[in-house]
Structure 1
Amino acid sequence: MSYPHARPWHGQLWSRFTTLWYLKALGTCAFMVLFFQGYFWVLRHPLGEPMVMPTLAMDRWVPFTSLGFPAYVSLWVYVSLPSAFLPNFRELVRYGLWTAALCGFCLALFWAFPTQVPMPDIDWAQHPELVFLKGIDASGNACPSLHVGSAVYSLMWLRHIFRQVRAPIALHVLSAVYCVVIVWSTMAIRQHVFLDVLAGAVVGAVFGWLSLRRVRAVRLD
């Protein structure tokens, strides 16, 4: 469904970006702090021993490369975009609650059913940028991949926002490609196997659909 707009799409996005920017910035930072507190608590107190996730042929199709690391960590920029482009406080609260539900659901799974990826035959000393990541990211959080779930969830919200402002198809494609790159990076640096990625994509898509099914298009004049 399309709506006429008095301003071009980039003007609408800028207006959304500057609306409640201070609240969005503080809220995003606070959410991430609280999330990581819960995340690391769950990894330190699993309900049982982590199960090693099986690998499939698809896992061998994605070669290991440390070049996936920048894309992996850039998730935190990508997932911040939907909230940055929300037009009002009500939408911001709705988005925040559904995002918290997504993260809470995955953390509950990590706690009750901890999983880990198989130990790859890689000399991590040759990849210092990944040594830090492997050191802080303890086992127990493999399936579903919250990294993938968050990326897919953000993709769906960005698609919704871009449709509201009637952004060009190129912006939709760019967002989708970037989401795919983030998903690829989780396997490329051996943080996740294909089953983790598949489960994460399903979780992200379900929460994205649930959170958007009753959202009405918002028009900014």
Structure 2
Amino acid sequence: MFGTMGFTLVFFVAYVYLLRHPASSVTIVPATRLDALLGFQPWALPIYLSLWCYVSLPPVLMNSRREIVAYGWRVALPCLLGLAVFYCWPNAIAPPAIDWTRYPAVAFLKNVDTAGNAFPSLHVATAVFSAVWLHWRLRLLQWHSAWRWFNLGWCLAIAYSTMAVKQHVALDVLGGTLLGLASAWACGLQAHASRHWQTDQP
């Protein structure tokens, strides 16, 4: 719990710094037809915020401090790659024509985390990375397959919510999904899971 909090704090210091002090001119990520069809949905804010609970689940299911530390290094990969993109290519989404004063909770989010550092969406990238790990872990623990479907559904809901609250556009979500999957693959999660799966069998 404290490790997740500490990691999140360190990450946000760098994230907010780049958000407030872009290294060059900011590029607007174009919206797509999907973004035009998907209207603003303030009810999705709790799902958006549930990411902070979701990303803490993989360490909860680990057996040792060594596993938790190793996971911490792995999950840092998509975050560091995302920050590198934000530094080299500052970007944002175009401000939607919405009166945020009508939605105080969402307005608070917009004040804390403006629509900058948009592509790739690190909200989606960390959700996808966590989803891959949880999928592996749930198989290792031989939990019922319903939990793996629940895991997938939660991840998809978080990705959807980033567009529903107009924090990201579809291209950001696509970029975050690819970053999360590529980082999980690069860390060898599947190979790591296979080794433990074979070792733990009677």
TM bucket, shorter chain: over 0.9
Deviation at 1:60, TM superposition (A): 2.1
- Residue 217, structure 1, aligned to residue 196, structure 2: yes
**Please, what TM-score do these two structures have when normalized by structure 1?**
0.85
- Residue 92, structure 1, aligned to residue 68, structure 2: yes
Match of 2:146 among 170, 178, 201: 170
Q: Which has the larger radius of gyration?
A: 1
Query: Hey, what's the Cα distance between the residues in 2 that align with 1:101 and 1:28?
Result: 15
Any conservation in 1 of the 2:95–2:115 contact (CA below 8 Å)? no
Deviation string 1:148-207 (CA, Å, 9 cap, x unpaired) is: 001110000000000101111110011111111100100001000000000000000011
Query: Hey, what's the Cα distance between the residues in 2 that align with 1:166 and 1:71?
Result: 27
Query: Hey, what's the Cα distance between the residues in 1 that align with 2:107 and 2:21?
Result: 23
| Residues 15-94 of structure 1 mapped to structure 2, 5 A cutoff | 25-94=1-70
Q: Which residue of 2 aligns with 1:202?
A: 178
Deviation at 1:44, TM superposition (A): 2.0
Match of 1:106 among 77, 82, 86: 82
**Please, what TM-score do these two structures have when normalized by structure 2?**
0.93
Any conservation in 1 of the 2:115–2:168 contact (CA below 8 Å)? no
Q: Which residue of 1 aligns with 2:129?
A: 153
- Residue 179, structure 1, aligned to residue 158, structure 2: no
Deviation at 1:61, TM superposition (A): 2.8
Query: Hey, what's the Cα distance between the residues in 1 that align with 2:68 and 2:88?
Result: 30
For 2:47, give the aligned amino acid. Answer: A
Return 5+ residue gaps in structure 1 as ranges.
1-24
Q: Larger deviation: 199-208 or 136-145?
A: 136-145
RMSD: 1.5
Of all paired residues, the percent bearing the same amino acid is 39
Return 5+ residue gaps in structure 2 as ranges.
none
Give the structure with the higher percent helix: 2
Query: Hey, what's the Cα distance between the residues in 2 that align with 1:140 and 1:46?
Result: 9
Q: Larger deviation: 99-108 or 195-204?
A: 99-108
Any conservation in 2 of the 1:149–1:203 contact (CA below 8 Å)? yes
* Structure 1 residue ranges, 4+ long, deviating more than 3 angstroms after superposition: 218-221
